[in-house]
Structure 1
């Protein structure tokens, strides 16, 4: 079965963890919706109830909250071969606290909550895939929280560069600062210092 690039990318992502027959692949693809988001547009805003989980096939998005002063706190960047959304809102059908905004023109594949539930009924092995996906997400969240407590801003930046070399040059210094948890001015000093090493 010949797939377009977007569908091949998502199937490759899934088959790292579960095997799919051709019929199961066709069924899964039939449950997906293609979504395009222009640079600076929102995929989702705080207060929305998340009705889709998304897989990025092209582009870059940032996931963030705003503090009481309106300052952004970025929790993740999502690029090709990444999943994004608000799992808590998606599962509980409650309003999200997150904004998801495209930092580049982006293309995604989305699965609705209705189709997600249908998928588990028709192809139960997908429960294993999504369990693994959510476990990896939880582990990443815990590590990031621990790094925020135990590492200096400079160490967090070095760790980010090492872990996400495919992202660091695609985001603004201001967004990187909001992810690290420091001011853009301090971020600039850290980048200058680290690049001298």
Structure 2
């Protein structure tokens, strides 16, 4: 059960067996049914989740009542609301929902702090994960501003090749910031090329 997460986190820092024992002992396993909302807007997010199996989305509802997807999390990805609840101690502005049946390994802020005290090298690994997350977020912002809808969709397919078979098209359109109808036109155009 811990092989995926241990392999993923050891890409950044080398750990001893004892450090992995500490790490693994602090993780909580959860099996979550499809269409479960793990976090509602206005709640405090008290978890960081690593996806062993399944697909989740993080989204907010805009002023017009439309869902805007900020992130898809599939196998080997992390999902949380670290920007508001965990680091700023403010209620979340997002929802986190399972789109498939999911298996997750979860940290609370308290267990993460315990990990850093007992195995300090994990703090460096999580810092690197945060830096990578910031890089991905900045790249996504750049793409939103600078690229055409077709270019955004093509890049989405490079990063998430399995998502189109796993989620409804309107979710992908929401992530890309376009209508489902426009995405359908892009897909037809690309299919004919």
Instruction: Please report how far the alpha carbon of residue 43 of structure 1 lies from its aligned counterpart in structure 2 after TM superposition.
Output: 1.4
Kindly indicate whether the alpha-carbon contact (under 8 Å) linking 1:53 and 1:90 is maintained by their aligned counterparts in 2. no
Instruction: Please report how far the alpha carbon of residue 169 of structure 1 lies from its aligned counterpart in structure 2 after TM superposition.
Output: 2.0
- 1:112 and 2:125 aligned: no
- 1:15 and 2:10 aligned: yes
Distance in 2 separating the partners of 1:19 and 1:188: 45
The CA RMSD measured in Å over matched residues stands at: 1.0
Instruction: Please report how far the alpha carbon of residue 122 of structure 1 lies from its aligned counterpart in structure 2 after TM superposition.
Output: 1.1
Helix, strand or coil at the partner of 2:2: helix
- 1:102 and 2:98 aligned: yes
Kindly indicate whether the alpha-carbon contact (under 8 Å) linking 1:59 and 1:79 is maintained by their aligned counterparts in 2. yes
- 1:134 and 2:130 aligned: yes
The runs of 4+ residues in structure 1 deviating greater than 4 Å are: none
Equivalent in the alignment of 1:186: 182
Long gaps (5+) in structure 1:
1-5
Equivalent in the alignment of 1:3: none
User: How many residues are treated as equivalent by the alignment?
Assistant: 192
Helix, strand or coil at the partner of 1:69: coil
Residue by residue over 1:19-72, the C-alpha shift from the partner in whole angstroms, topping out at 9 and shown as x without a partner, is 111111111111011122211111111111111111000100011111012101
Long gaps (5+) in structure 2:
none
Taking structure 2 as the reference length, the TM-score comes to 0.96
Helix, strand or coil at the partner of 1:192: helix
Instruction: Please report how far the alpha carbon of residue 167 of structure 1 lies from its aligned counterpart in structure 2 after TM superposition.
Output: 2.3
Taking structure 1 as the reference length, the TM-score comes to 0.94
